[in-house]
Structure 1
Amino acid sequence: MELPLKSIALTIVIVTVLTWAWRVLNWVWLRPKKLEKFLRQQGLKGNSYRLLFGDLKENSIELKEAKARPLSLDDNIAIRVNPFLHKLVNDYGM
């Protein structure tokens, strides 16, 4: 009687873990890639989806470069405040 109880419990645990893994995979990878595909079909350009950090590396590099350049009083402040967003708007439009 004890063997079937253990196998039922193991089956429930396996099904629960697989369901959780599928939901995480869908949330982290499948849904963003599907959304990216739909947006590209509608003609919207942009950077492709990258897992976990996305554009964080490029954003920090451009921010360091922008802060390294001198800023005069008649310069456009938007380039200094958020250079990555400024680059995206210039590359892909608004």
Structure 2
Amino acid sequence: MDVSVTEIFILVAVTIVTVGWRILNWVWVRPKYLERRLREQGFAGNSYRLFSGDLKESSMMSKQANSKPINISDDISPRVIPIVHHTVEKYGMSTPYT
């Protein structure tokens, strides 16, 4: 059985394109599709950002929340989970089935 260089090149090219498409679909296409579908259903939120997402914003909010003193009578949710608290204040609670 004689395998030519052209056949090997075609096989490698098809493999690279297939793997590339799967990665692109996993990293960009599917999240953007899900974001669009959620917005159609009435959910609001931050737009999808590749790789980092809300990580930088979340870490900055945590540092800021932990730098302030807290009283015994204060609400602890802004201190414990500041990104969730900020998102709920900004976009509100969303109940899709009501």
- Which TM-score band applies after superposition, normalised by the shorter structure? over 0.9
Cα distance, 1:89 vs. partner? 1.0
Q: Deviations over 1:7-52 (max 9, x none)?
A: 1011100000000000000010011001111111111110000000
Which residue identity lines up with residue 56 of structure 1 in the other structure? L
Aligned to 1:57, what secondary structure does the other structure show? helix
Count, aligned residues? 93
Identify unmatched segments of 5+ residues in structure 2.
Answer: 94-98
Question: Aligned partners of 1:90 and 1:14: how far apart in 2?
Answer: 49
1:11 maps to what in 2?
10
Question: Aligned partners of 1:12 and 1:68: how far apart in 2?
Answer: 57
Q: Which of structures 1 and 2 has the larger relative contact order (alpha carbons within 8 angstroms, sep 6+)?
A: 2
1:36 maps to what in 2?
35
2:44 maps to what in 1?
45
> What TM-score, normalized to structure 2?
0.89
Runs of at least 4 residues off by over 6 Å: none
Question: Aligned partners of 1:44 and 1:71: how far apart in 2?
Answer: 32
Identity %: 49
Question: Aligned partners of 2:40 and 2:84: how far apart in 1?
Answer: 23
> What TM-score, normalized to structure 1?
0.92
Higher helix share: 1
Question: Aligned partners of 1:47 and 1:35: how far apart in 2?
Answer: 13
Cα distance, 1:66 vs. partner? 0.3
Question: Aligned partners of 2:82 and 2:43: how far apart in 1?
Answer: 21
